Amino acid sequence: MGLEDVIVSIGSRVKSTGREAYLFYRPSKPGIDMRLPEGQLRQYLEWHPQSRYFIFGLGMYEAWKRIQSPLRTEYNGVITSLIRFVSPSPTLNTALMRHIGMHIERPPRELPQADRKDLEVSVATHCQFDFFFPELISIGYGTMLGVEVAIATHLNMQDYFIVGEVNIGRSVLLGAKSVIGPGVTIGDRAQINAGSYVTSDVPPGAIYSGNPARLVGRRKARWVEMEDGLPRMKQGFHDDR
């Protein structure tokens, strides 16, 4: 299920409650009543394709029941808790992530087995994945998630909700306790430093840090080079500032 289908599903749940809720592709632009027929809602989404949308009118108290099936949310919560607290196996973690709909890319089959193993997505302990809409998360092969990384596909901002996709490229490094917000795309070989909060797209190869995260450098293609027949670590290997 993609973002368009998720938004339509929320519209269907809103319609069943009779509650007024309005969808915006940008807060300053014209929106649409989510109680309108599915065809009109899909047309709005086709005309205004975005990686995140804003929904006003869901309220706060038990609003989570208006955007997703409570049973589905609780089931996803159990699986993400297993990944976060119980499973010590990267292979089992990625299998559980795929089970609840996350798109976890496998390394190319033409690579040798040893290289394929090294390029599997690696998830450290205590990582937290959005259990409302895990199907909106995509992670490319070779990516590493540090301890307590959090990936959110929705945010409750009290007055409104944000719902969006998170697309993480290949060979990305997410530092410990970094947070990735909805609607964010992170390019291949990018690096997010520990404790950063990412709210906007990150270009390939960029190093981002801070809250909100900002560009602080660029990752080198290679950290080690040969000199006089010996491997040497490049000076200033953290970034190219």
pLDDT at 224 over 70: no
Using pLDDT thresholds of 50, 70 and 90, give the confidence band for residue 4: very high
Residues 74 and 129 grouped into a single domain: yes
The span from the CA of 152 to the CA of 169, in Å, is 16
Residues 133 and 31 grouped into a single domain: no
Total domains in the chain come to 2
Using pLDDT thresholds of 50, 70 and 90, give the confidence band for residue 220: confident
Average pLDDT over residues 151-169: 94
Residues 19 and 107 grouped into a single domain: no
Residues 170 and 58 grouped into a single domain: no
Using pLDDT thresholds of 50, 70 and 90, give the confidence band for residue 158: confident
Domain membership of residue 49 (yes or no) is: yes
Report the chain's C-alpha Rg in angstroms: 20
- Buried residues in 200-224 as b, exposed as e (16+ CB within 10 A): eebeebbbbbeeebeebbbbbeeee
- The model carries a pTM of 0.89
Between 239 and 65, the higher pLDDT residue? 65
Using pLDDT thresholds of 50, 70 and 90, give the confidence band for residue 117: confident
Of the residues 18, 50, 67, which one is the last residue of a structural domain? 67
pLDDT at 240 over 50: no
Of the residues 33, 67, 101, which one is the last residue of a structural domain? 67
Domain membership of residue 230 (yes or no) is: no
Residues 34 and 145 grouped into a single domain: no
CATH number where 193 lies: 2.160.10.10
Of the residues 22, 46, 67, which one is the last residue of a structural domain? 67
Residues 52 and 123 grouped into a single domain: no
Pick from 24-28, 100-104, 191-195: least confident = 24-28
Q: Which residues, at least 6 apart from 234, have a Cβ–Cβ distance to it below 8 Å?
A: 220, 222, 223, 224, 225
The residue type found at 77 is G
Residues 91 and 14 grouped into a single domain: no
Residues 88 and 137 grouped into a single domain: yes
- Greatest alpha-carbon pair distance for the chain in Å reads 74
pLDDT at 238 over 60: no
Query: In this predicted structure, what is the pLDDT of residue 35?
Result: 92
The residue type found at 23 is L
The span from the CA of 214 to the CA of 76, in Å, is 32
Residues 76 and 176 grouped into a single domain: yes
Average pLDDT over the chain, rounded to an integer: 89
Place of tokens 């895990």: 134
Domain membership of residue 234 (yes or no) is: no
Average pLDDT over residues 123-143: 95
Residue 13: φ, ψ to 5°: -70, -40
Using pLDDT thresholds of 50, 70 and 90, give the confidence band for residue 232: low
Which H or E run contains 54? strand 52-56
Place of tokens 């491997």: 231
Average pLDDT over residues 70-97: 90
Residues 122 and 212 grouped into a single domain: yes
- pLDDT-above-70 percentage for the chain: 92
Q: Which residues, at least 6 apart from 154, have a Cβ–Cβ distance to it below 8 Å?
A: 67, 130, 132, 133, 161, 162, 163, 164, 182
Domain membership of residue 229 (yes or no) is: no
Q: Which domain holds residue 92?
A: 70-152+165-224
Domain membership of residue 145 (yes or no) is: yes
Residues 63 and 128 grouped into a single domain: no
Kindly state the DSSP code that residue 97 receives in the 8-state scheme: H
The region that residue 41 occupies, defined by phi over 0 for left and psi between -120 and 50 for alpha, beta otherwise, is alpha
pLDDT digits (tens, 9 = 90+) for 46-75: 999 999 999 998 877 777 778 888 899 999
Residues 63 and 42 grouped into a single domain: yes
Domain membership of residue 133 (yes or no) is: yes
Contact call for residues 51 and 185 (beta carbons, < 8 A): yes
